[in-house]
Structure 1
Amino acid sequence: MVCAGVLRGLILFCLFFSGVWGVEKTLDQNTLAPAIKFLRQNYQPGQNQVAIAFNAPVDKCADYLDNNFLNKYPGSIVKKDLNSPECLYKGQKLIAARPKPITGSTKKQHSEYLLMNVPNVATSLMKKLLDNDKTGCVVFYTYNSPCTSTCTKPGGCYSIIQALDMFENHKGPKAFVFTKVWKYDCDKDISTNLKEVLKRVPLYRCKDNNNCVACTDKNLKDCM
């Protein structure tokens, strides 16, 4: 026989977690907004492109904004590593990247690609981050939307689309978030490319005013 106090606690536990991320384990955009603000204020180098991902313990998913989790990763240390030739920060629960110049070329490896595809998808920083806690609360943030010319180009050698398949089997809450539409895509309809992201992981846009919107098939063009 279960005592009334324990039973009541179990009921409240279930209600709390179903209310935070529901059956589909999606993140509420109002909860997500302060997290993105924290990432930008502490880790983004100015208004320059950066990609940041973290895998928070699931019990921090509703309250990681109390800084008990993210404050373990001081901005000064993260930015120092981002400004190194490697353009990477490799933490146990948080990773970040800036675009990295390609030797002998004027082009750069994009930050999303560095986290998801280097040296390959199976051994990438993002795969290791996901495997670190397979039920954790995972947020992948990129300041600019993944570009259509390389990052979301179907079959492209620098595409992240196939790498995003790694999110599909993740059991915890997850989100792929961007703030601005990449400047070279502003005059394009990027909805087809973003649909490929949306197929694999819940997609959000958190604008400069910290207002976050969940992107769906129905409102994808509004998200742009």
Structure 2
Amino acid sequence: MRGVVLLFLLSLWSGGQVDAINQDVLANVVQEMRRFGLGGRQYAMAVLLTKQQCTQNRAIFDVGVQPQVVQNALNGNNVYTGNRLIAATPLRIVQAIDRTKTDHAEYRLLSRGNTNLSPMQTLINSAGRNDGQCIVFFSTYSPCLEKCNNPNGRNDIVPLMNVFQGFDKNRKAFVFSSVWDPSRNNPGVTNPSRQWMFDSFKRIDGYLPLYRCDRFKENNKWVNRCYRCVTANTNPETNDCLYGYS
């Protein structure tokens, strides 16, 4: 079966402090990962890469599944769990008449649910003892302050991020495309300040480097670009990862 080819141009690392993932190329990687997702819908996805795929320029690899297979699972509100890729959409659960709850996509990948291991832990376990492997965790939106990045929330994913501690900092990344806007579905809601949003970025970055990869306008042209959210610019008013947020 012909897999999807991702062009990973990852710089060689030696365990130093320099980011292992080339940010310009990471933008192209995210565009390729989107082929597995659903256009216009929120979803989260993670891909596990071999050492060879992580360190060789223009490395070609097969993730073992066609995009349509993953998309069919997501359209059915199922979590797709493969050997190299996992993916989920938010799941709306009706608990009673006029009462529902929603498990966000990131939470569905990180939580155990009714099983012994979470999909993310299962994916990581498949890496075995190969210390050279790396992982990219992608979400269409930054983890929201209402649930996924709310320290007091039932669906807070931050404690679940411990699952990534087995990976060297230079071999893991959390990537999102857009900053979650709480007023999007609730026009009367006042959005958290940019400082609060930046502080929420730092909570995630404490477990794995956080990037924003999206289309940005530069010199009157739209380009695919990735930005490191916490270490590059610590000013919430000018931070590139908060571009467009108000």
What's the TM-score once normalised by structure 1's chain length? 0.82
1:12 corresponds to: none
Aligned partner letter, 1:30: D
- Higher RCO (C-alpha 8 Å, min separation 6): 1
Q: Which moved more, 1:50-59 or 1:171-180?
A: 171-180
CA contact (8 A) 1:82 1:97 kept: yes
RMSD (CA atoms): 2.4
Note the C-alpha offset of 1:118.
2.9
Aligned match for 2:181, one of 177, 180, 183: 183
Q: Hey, what's the Cα distance between the residues in 2 that align with 1:38 and 1:65? A: 13
Per-residue CA deviation, residues 83-113 of structure 1 (Å, 9 max, x unaligned), is: 1143x11111100000011132433100000
Task: Label 1:191 to 1:125 Cα distance change in 2 as closer, same or farther (>3 A).
Answer: same
Partner of 2:12: 20
TM-fit CA distance, 1:23: 2.0
More helix by share: 1
Can you list the C-alpha shifts for 1:19-69, whole angstroms capped at 9, x where unaligned? 5234246322123111101011x1221121110101111110145865522
Query: Which residue matches 2:163?
Result: 166
Please report the TM-score for the alignment, with normalisation by the length of structure 2.
Answer: 0.75
Residue 170 of structure 1: how far off its partner (Å): 1.5
Q: Does the alignment pair 1:200 with 2:214? A: no
The runs of 5 or more residues in structure 2 that have no matched partner are 1-9, 185-190, 216-222
**Number of residues of Structure 1 aligned to a counterpart in Structure 2:** 204
Native 8 Å contact 1:148 1:185 kept in 2:
no
Identity %: 29
Distance in 2 of aligned mates of 1:107 and 1:165:
25
Question: Superposed, which structure 2 residues align to 1:32-71 within 5 Å?
Answer: 32-40=26-34, 42-62=35-55, 67-70=60-63
8 Å CA contact retained: 1:56, 1:69: no
Shift of 1:214: 1.4
CA distance in 2, matches of 1:185, 1:95: 29
Flag the 1:163–1:122 CA change in 2: closer, same or farther, 3 A: farther
Contact 1:34 / 1:65 at 8 angstroms: preserved in 2? no
Runs of 4+ in 1 over 6 A off after TM superposition: none
Change in Cα spacing, 1:206 to 1:120, as seen in structure 2 (3 Å) is: farther
Question: Unaligned regions of 5+ residues in structure 1, if any?
Answer: 1-17
